[in-house]
Structure 1
Amino acid sequence: MADRFRVTLAQLNATVGDLEGNAALARKAWEAGRDSGADLVALPEMFITGYNTQDLIKKPVFHQAAIAKIEALAQDCAVGPALAIGGPALEGAELYNAYYILKGGSITACVLKHHLPNETVFDEVRLYASGDVMGPYAVDGVRIGSPICEDSWHEDVPETLAETGAEFLLVPNGSPYYRGKLAHRHQLMVARVVETGLPLIYLNLVGAQDDQVFDGGTFALNPGGGLAVQMPLMEEDIAHIDLLRGDDGWRIETGALAHIPDTLESDYHAMVLSLRDYMRKTGFNKVLLGLSGGVDSAIVATIAVDALGAENVRCVMLPSEYTSQASLDDAKDCAKALGARYDFVPIAEGRAAITNTLAPLFEGTEPGITEENIQSRLRGLLLMALSNKFGEMLLTTGNKSEVAVGYATIYGDMAGGYNPIKDLYKTRVFDVCRWRNANHREWMMGPEGEVIPENIITKPPSAELREDQKDSDSLPDYPVLDGILQILVDEDGSIEDCVKAGYDRADAARVEHLIYISEYKRFQSAPGTRLSKRAFWLDRRYPIVNRWRDGG
């Protein structure tokens, strides 16, 4: 029996539904492993279908086609290393989340996922049956245990694998990003290593799907919990690692340890990756956005340039009579610093025409929010016209603070196809802007240096829909608002929790009311990058009609 076992780890970017494309990536990884002398080439959870499939996996013609593609892969990869790949499995009438081992032209093992996550973005209980806890499978005489993703977050499956003869653990994952997730994975997997005494390889998917970002970050741990290999975050990579057998069992040879970025860099990279993948996987090449001279549209423009290149980004200033000269100058300076196209489309004439059209119906009423929102909706109309005419996806620019309390105009500035900053609170938007001005990375397609003018970051936020308007006229100051939102949304806390944290009870009650009455807007809003465990969409599902209020 060999004393060296080589595993090729393929941290690659699958696309949901692209069975042929995903199979081609698997073959390419297998060829790289074959050429490096690997014994096993491993791909992540549900790789053949892409992840997270949601209800698509329940469609019989789809999961049957995916299984057929795995069977074809077995034949294509018959001569060479074993190939491990995630995909659906059928046993009788039951559908499973499975991990296949292909060797010598056939499927030699099929592991079924036992623990099915049913929280945050996952609904696996309604998609799959729970498989029985299984023992290890053998590849070239080496017994390997593969707890699939959630199975490794519980003690029972890894311990059963160790007790039934597994010599190391290979954990295939489709684990999406949220802030601080990698450290949590490390902590849990060290616990599994300590409990079982076995080396462990944590192999994760990379790439974005709708709102979710799979951040890669594949790593390997030796007995005792020491980190032997750390693959990069947010980037595709293929690594060849060797396990050596000694008197006390297998150990993983120390390999490359990739840089672990801080949370600001991780958030920013996630937003860039999610937009880049959303565009590529939906077939769009170019974007446009309204560039107002404010901080939110500036950071979205910067994310777009870093994701797609300046030549693929159109920034449009749509000023009204309330747009300040500072905003005009700031927007133009930002577009110039980024190298993006800048178009100037005044809305005063169109707004006057709409106002005159509505005048007979509005006669006898006082101007107010309705008239202000006409400006926003006219901008949305013009931006969507440009999107239709030139085939450029419109990006929306509302931060999480605004999305939470409805400080945005439905069918106006909420119009668009994707929102990279949807899960980024306003106070953090400022931090991310400053981080990007001070840092540049190889994965950014935009220029180095101060791409967001300092005046955009420091001036008081304003929608500029009326004379001398500031956001603080309608909302608590953003540090207060975001603190309350963190408690009510991210922590599912109460008004009393807000008061205990030092916030005014009236402010907390008002913010809670705004959150609930804005549900219908969020229901119709564009998807956006998930950065936390309480992003608005699959993480937090509330009824649109809701008369309950916290009396605390």
Structure 2
Amino acid sequence: MKIGVLQLNPIVGDLSGNSAKIIEAAKHAASQGAELCLTSEMALTGYPPRDLLLYDGFISRVLPEAKAVAMALKDGPALLLGSVERNDSGMGKPVYNCALFCKEGKVRQIFRKTLLPTYDVFDEARYFEPAPTGNPEANILRFNNKTLAVTICEDAWNDKDYWDQRSYTRDPLENAANHSPDIILNLSASPLILGKQQLREDMLGVVAQKYSTPLIYANQTGGNDDLIFDGRSCAFDANGSLIARAPGFKENVLIVETNDLTANVVAKDDFSRESETWRALVIGTRDYVQKSEFSKGLVGLSGGIDSAVTAVVAAEALGKENVTCVLMPSPYSSQGSIDDSLKLAQNAGIKTITLPIQPIMDQFEATLSQPFAGCKPDTTEENIQSRIRGNLLMALSNKFGAMLLTTGNKSELAVGYCTIYGDMSGGYAVISDVDKTGVFALAKWYNQNVAPNIPEAIITKPPSAELRPDQKDQDSLPDYDILDGILGLHVEKHKSRDEIIRAGYEAETVDQILKLVRFAEFKRRQAAPGIKLTPRSFGTGWRMPLACKRKL
């Protein structure tokens, strides 16, 4: 049997647009001989729809759209459609996360998700009722003389022999195994974490081998808000060997031939950290800007590594003709930074605007001279410079309808080395989950693998905000390899002060950094959404209290 895996990039809430895309992809799969197709999880609604699911007006439109998809495919192929279903039982949450089996113009069977994740960015128990108990064939589909086990994302991620500790007491795969399925199908919407595909393939291969059953996994691709979906839908034989993989970070129709395993194709991929980061930043920026109904991007270009990387990502994602970089030199901006910025823009083919800010700085100084009389200059004046630049950028954004892309990295966001209403202003934080050492590594990788557009001076010079004479980042912060090491342990691995010190870091430095992380919480709460790449980003999965006394 040929099975078509529809790896698509849905737009959350766009039921008609998503259904048209699904129909087109299914017909394409049928033209290649597919008898059955499966989408990713909730492909009809887009994933994650979050609080759209609380609106009955939205839910009421889903089933009619699903029926329209079924009717459009009445002549084949059959389809397992990721969707949601209203819970009419009067008990529990109002909707189910489900897969609808469509055949010959009708929805014939419904499969409901059992395991509802509530960790990190997932909050499914907020919306969904789990599949009811008591039906031994709840996730069994009989099709073309085959017995298929239908699972939805987390339902296949709970194997007690793979994980040290199983998260749920129920296991849909154990139940399905009682029916000796011929194939396990899994409809997923599994967000990217750098390196996660290798874990997925290892885990799914172990599951296939454990049950001696071929397994086919469908994932969505594209960016939705802070989440990136890398696709890489794949299939395994009964021995757990990978037999097929779709390309990463792009739409694809993967045809899996279950009778002739040698007919399948495993797409080549690059699992290096920089390659995955680059592709995730590009697709995330493109989808966020375009799904928000913008077409142009705006970047403040300082001559530093962060704005340089943000600019080349924007040019790749949106097209260089749709990106404008703005230089806003102050009296403290070095000529080298100005020259490097212009050279970068010229290399990448990006147009620039130059707006010197000294006249505005002078006006602020004059206006504040009386209340500031007798006060020495400090970070107040530095922040004014940043806020002048933020206002100029937002004015250009408003006037020309361009999305302002912020340029701050994860290290800065973690310790508050950024100015709220200044350089934090904007609509999307492209590199907010890439630490400073990662930004340098990505810039070098970009020059070697994409285009040598970033001037070497930007990569090699000491980082500086250039808000006062001869300023360097390390005047206020430890070296970035030390800072990022501490932040990696604390933010991403939840390590306490004492654990970080035992890992080899000086107590005074650890105390300084953890204090900065705590004090910057209010800034992060007001930051632009950014692209999640690591197990712990400052996005929807980060839920620290603001007004608190915490000792970690």
CA offsets per residue over residues 333-385 of structure 1, 9 Å max, x none? 11111100011110000110011011111112111110111100000001111
Unaligned stretches of 5+ in structure 2? 160-170
Q: How does 1:485-504 map to 2 (within 5 A)?
A: 485-504=487-506
Unaligned stretches of 5+ in structure 1? 245-250, 441-447
Q: How does 1:226-265 map to 2 (within 5 A)?
A: 226-244=241-259, 252-261=261-270, 262-265=272-275
| 1:544 and 2:546 matched | yes
| 1:514 and 2:511 matched | no
Comparing 363-372 with 135-144, which one deviates more in the overlay?
135-144
* Structure 1 vs Structure 2 CA RMSD: 1.1
Question: Residue 253 of structure 1: CA displacement?
Answer: 4.2
2:394 to 384, 400, 407: 384
| Preserved contact between residue 190 and residue 221 of structure 1 (Cα < 8 Å) | yes
Query: What is the SS of the residue equivalent to 1:360?
Result: coil
Q: How does 1:183-332 map to 2 (within 5 A)?
A: 183-244=198-259, 252-261=261-270, 262-332=272-342
Q: How does 1:25-64 map to 2 (within 5 A)?
A: 25-64=21-60
Comparing 273-282 with 139-148, which one deviates more in the overlay?
139-148
| Preserved contact between residue 235 and residue 242 of structure 2 (Cα < 8 Å) | yes
| Preserved contact between residue 235 and residue 256 of structure 2 (Cα < 8 Å) | no
Question: Residue 91 of structure 1: CA displacement?
Answer: 3.1
Matched letter for residue 100 of structure 1: L
Q: How does 1:83-98 map to 2 (within 5 A)?
A: 83-92=79-88, 93=90, 94-98=94-98
Aligned residue-pair number: 532
CA offsets per residue over residues 5-59 of structure 1, 9 Å max, x none? 1111110100000000000001101211222222112111000000011111121
| Preserved contact between residue 463 and residue 469 of structure 1 (Cα < 8 Å) | yes
CA offsets per residue over residues 42-96 of structure 1, 9 Å max, x none? 1110000000111111211111211221122112211121011101012324411
Comparing 500-509 with 252-261, which one deviates more in the overlay?
252-261
Work out the CA distance in 2 between the residues paired with 1:190 and 1:164. Answer: 20
CA offsets per residue over residues 190-216 of structure 1, 9 Å max, x none? 121122110000110001000100100
| 1:360 and 2:356 matched | no
| Preserved contact between residue 415 and residue 526 of structure 1 (Cα < 8 Å) | yes
Matched letter for residue 534 of structure 2: S
TM-score, structure 2 as length reference: 0.95
Q: How does 1:342-491 map to 2 (within 5 A)?
A: 342-440=352-450, 448=451, 450-491=452-493
Work out the CA distance in 2 between the residues paired with 1:288 and 1:241. Answer: 42
Work out the CA distance in 2 between the residues paired with 1:97 and 1:166. Answer: 22
Work out the CA distance in 2 between the residues paired with 1:224 and 1:147. Answer: 19
CA offsets per residue over residues 475-516 of structure 1, 9 Å max, x none? 111111101101110111011112111111011111111111
Matching residue of 2:71: 75
Question: Residue 427 of structure 1: CA displacement?
Answer: 0.5
Matching residue of 2:188: 173
Structure 1 residues 286 and 171: alpha-carbon distance in aligned structure 2, compared to 1, 3 A threshold: same
CA offsets per residue over residues 172-227 of structure 1, 9 Å max, x none? 10000001110111121112112211000011000100010010011100011111
Work out the CA distance in 1 between the residues paired with 2:195 and 2:187. Answer: 20
| 1:15 and 2:11 matched | yes
Query: What is the SS of the residue equivalent to 1:395?
Result: strand
Runs of 4+ with deviation above 3 angstroms: 251-254
Structure 1 residues 371 and 135: alpha-carbon distance in aligned structure 2, compared to 1, 3 A threshold: closer
Work out the CA distance in 2 between the residues paired with 1:268 and 1:483. Answer: 22
| Preserved contact between residue 388 and residue 422 of structure 2 (Cα < 8 Å) | yes
| Preserved contact between residue 301 and residue 325 of structure 2 (Cα < 8 Å) | yes
Query: What is the SS of the residue equivalent to 2:369?
Result: helix
Question: Residue 141 of structure 1: CA displacement?
Answer: 2.5
1:148 to 149, 152, 160: 152
Query: How high is the sequence identity, in percent, across the aligned residues?
Result: 40
Work out the CA distance in 2 between the residues paired with 1:74 and 1:275. Answer: 33
Question: Residue 252 of structure 1: CA displacement?
Answer: 3.8
Matching residue of 2:165: none
TM-score, structure 1 as length reference: 0.95
Work out the CA distance in 2 between the residues paired with 1:281 and 1:399. Answer: 23
